[in-house]
Structure 1
């Protein structure tokens, strides 16, 4: 029987936002946020083993251009997965989808390890990307709706930045697995994908304990269950912290709905919030081109253009990955204090200017592998904080009913434009030489600087504000229309 829809008054958003930080919040961070480690592991492994996959002994024998194609296929899968699963996340709930998408990732990455020809490898990369893309929509929605407003910026940036812990782990594992003293040329790279599945299983065990978003529940007719869930969360937080919780008086009136149709989603994004839509696209295109272009092909730049041995190339990714993780970790709190607009524009423009300098030095052939890696560490310290803030931005500036779909849309379009074109171009640039690769760096710099300027003009001052104050739920603005 269908859930009965009502108009209700709820205090749940205020009750969640006023909670002190507790062990319960750490469970949310570990259960949901660690998916970025998986993505970092996937992207870095394929980048680190790319040179091995071009060898006939690997069992695949891909060309450098096909490595770029595999990267583009992975990103395409992520874009498709984010749209499909993003829509279902808003319709079916956060928890159901963040379990489904993780299971899809696990199945696809295990299948990748058994690839017997390029076509099968490409298919597996597509579905692995679909699982990860779906995770972005489901996870970002759930995290923002469960984490208190005053901690949302630093937590989101740190979680998105944890991608680089996976990247560092992937680089180190690749060094070992590519060593033919330990593993045959057609075995080591397969084990790399299998280890990603092992980590995914561990995350799955923790994630079983993460609850559904109470915000999603009360909008979709499950207000009694939502109240019971928040009661339990409050009891646990009080027990863990020993602090009494102050009462919450502010209420939100909600016209419940079963689902939100595509017409409403489009109307909200482009009719009600057109400037925010331009902002989201700008931030995603800039960071997606830069990151996907550089990291999917960096091992090829080292081996083909700078003479680094294939089994040593992954070591150069480790300091870059650590620099990327340090950026959000060190700068994250400033996004909640100095504010979104100043920090997002500063990190985008700053990293873009530093990238221009790196491109000029690389073009002049004054950088060897070590010097180029140092430059990347500096560039990505700032770029990583900016990139993480793109996910934070689109997850908090649109109404709750469209949040997952908004994340999915801007991720898919921005990543589709920047993340698919970038690897394809750079795969060709590597074959053409240093001058062509430098041109790619300049393109990435221009996109980052342009996005920073858009943030200055159109940025939303969302720091330390409740999600409902940044963008009122559609269900609070108008009576529900059942769009089942």
Structure 2
């Protein structure tokens, strides 16, 4: 399958541009949207122990609180990532946050647990394709030589939402009520109202020229490129007319995309499917279970959320640390090394009995988790061509959300019956399998243009 942007087309122009304030503003605007996805992902673990008291929930009820948002994200990742390849990146960026903000605000006023779960599910649908679109959009706009670094910066902005979720959770739960409204409900109000602001700002984003070319809208693609060039490199010559016609293969549905992916990009497709099923255990396992693990160790809910907030500070700091690493080291090897770090620090956290060691291990785990996360988000956006990039990455990524739905129903009961050490040791075994998968089947991508990464697929068949 030929990619939609040739080395002499809009892709070449975008890749040659100097990195300026325009690129950084774009990165921040995209990263602000990921803030709410990541805030929401970890909010389930924060709310579970609180709502267990509020609504008298057992282990199944707590698992449902965590799983509801992930179930919606699974649906959204499958549906909205496909829509993004059909209708464009910009439109779905706006649709994502619109759905999330409306239903997050509605969930804040849920009268019972049943209503809460339904509204959390629908809000999750809105965020399902958010991170896939962050990866896709930046990969298609940012020059290849700094693609990893700038994507890592976008996620650094986004990951500020994780410790904030735990910190706000601890403060608001301790207050119980604020202006006559339960503290936990304010956590949802904050997410919904913040998303409305980002939604308004995101309306200013341009459409991806690579996507416009992929659907035959060449004149519009070059119009966007000329607009960008005028802002970042005035005076740079840009072709007035589109170049020679390119070979296209438009994917019209999930089935067609999967056929192309497993025919032309077989090894990397198999690698990504296996990876996404397992990466949830490595990444989301700690974030969603940490408050429950701390309660299981005998800490009060408010104390556990405070300790979790300290541990979760590793998420934005680890993301910041990844900025130089994602360009200096080959992405696939960085994924493997950081995943092994998650396994080790996870077992230490589970076995720790003192507050200092618990917080230290949790902090190191979350820090290395975001080296892992940023590396794989950059990686998954690099390994498929533009015409199927969002759909192929989104369908694979949805598997991680599906695993996230199932994980609480396995991990929460096991946490109660076998204890934290057994749960995190089991996770470590699965992480080793993940490392073998990436090491044996994953392609090299660091520093290459999207078209070069795509072209390397011929050697994998």
Judge which range, 172-181 or 392-401, deviates more.
Answer: 172-181
Within 2, Cα distance between the matches of 1:329 and 1:467? Answer: 24
* Distance (Å, rounded) in 2 between the aligned partners of 1:422 and 1:262: 25
Identify the residue that residue 413 of structure 2 maps to in structure 1.
428
State the Cα distance separating 1:151 from its structure 2 match: 1.1
**3-state SS of 1:255 partner:** coil
Q: How does 1:117-128 map to 2 (within 5 A)?
A: 117-128=112-123
Contact 1:85 / 1:137 at 8 angstroms: preserved in 2?
no
2:345 alignment partner, SS class: helix
User: Runs in 1 of length 4+ with deviation above 6 angstroms?
Assistant: 6-9
Deviation at 1:130, TM superposition (A): 0.9
Give the structure-1-normalised TM-score.
0.86
**Matched residues in 1 for 2:195 and 2:289: separation?**
25
After superposition, the Cα gap between the structure-2 partners of 1:191 and 1:287, relative to the gap in structure 1 and judged at 3 Å, is same
Aligned to 2:324: 333
Distance 1:104 1:231 in 2: 32
1:448 matched to 2:431: yes
Measured in 1, the distance between the counterparts of 2:397 and 2:17 equals 30
Corresponding residue of 2:34: 36
Aligned mate of 2:144, from 145, 149, 152: 149
- 1:27 is aligned to 25
Alignment partner, residue 482 of structure 1: none
Q: Select 2:188's aligned residue among 193, 197, 209.
A: 193
TM-score w.r.t. length of structure 2: 0.90
CA distance in 1, matches of 2:192, 2:5: 44
Residue in structure 2 matching 1:11, options 4, 9, 12: 9
Partner Cα distance (1:252, 1:176) in 2: 60
After TM superposition, the structure 1 stretch with the greater mean CA deviation from structure 2, 207-216 or 283-292, is: 283-292
Return 5+ residue gaps in structure 1 as ranges.
1-5, 475-484
Provide the C-alpha distance between the structure 1 equivalents of 2:7 and 2:38, rounded to a whole number of angstroms: 42
| Rounded Cα–Cα distance in structure 2 between residues aligned with 1:129 and 1:346 | 31
Counterparts of 1:313 and 1:251 in 2: how far apart (Å)? 59
Query: What residue in structure 2 maps to residue 68 of structure 1?
Result: 63
Checking the alignment, whether the CA contact within 8 Å between 1:165 and 1:321 is kept in structure 2 is no
Residue in 2 that maps onto 1:3: none
Cα contact 2:322–2:370 (8 A) shared by 1: no
1:290 to 273, 282, 289: 282
Q: Whole-Å Cα distance in 2 between the matches of residues 131 and 386 of structure 1? A: 25
State the shift of 1:358 in Å. 4.2
Please, which moves more after superposition, 130-139 or 104-113?
Answer: 130-139
Structure 2: which 5+ residue stretches go unaligned? none
SS at match of 2:302: coil
2:221 alignment counterpart:
226
- The whole-number CA distance in structure 1 between the counterparts of 2:31 and 2:245 is 31
Matched pairs, number: 452
| Residues 206-225 of structure 1 mapped to structure 2, 5 A cutoff | 206-225=201-220
Equivalent position of 1:278 in the other structure: 270
RMSD over aligned CA atoms reads: 2.7
For 1:295-334, list aligned pairs within 5 A. 295-303=287-295, 305-334=296-325
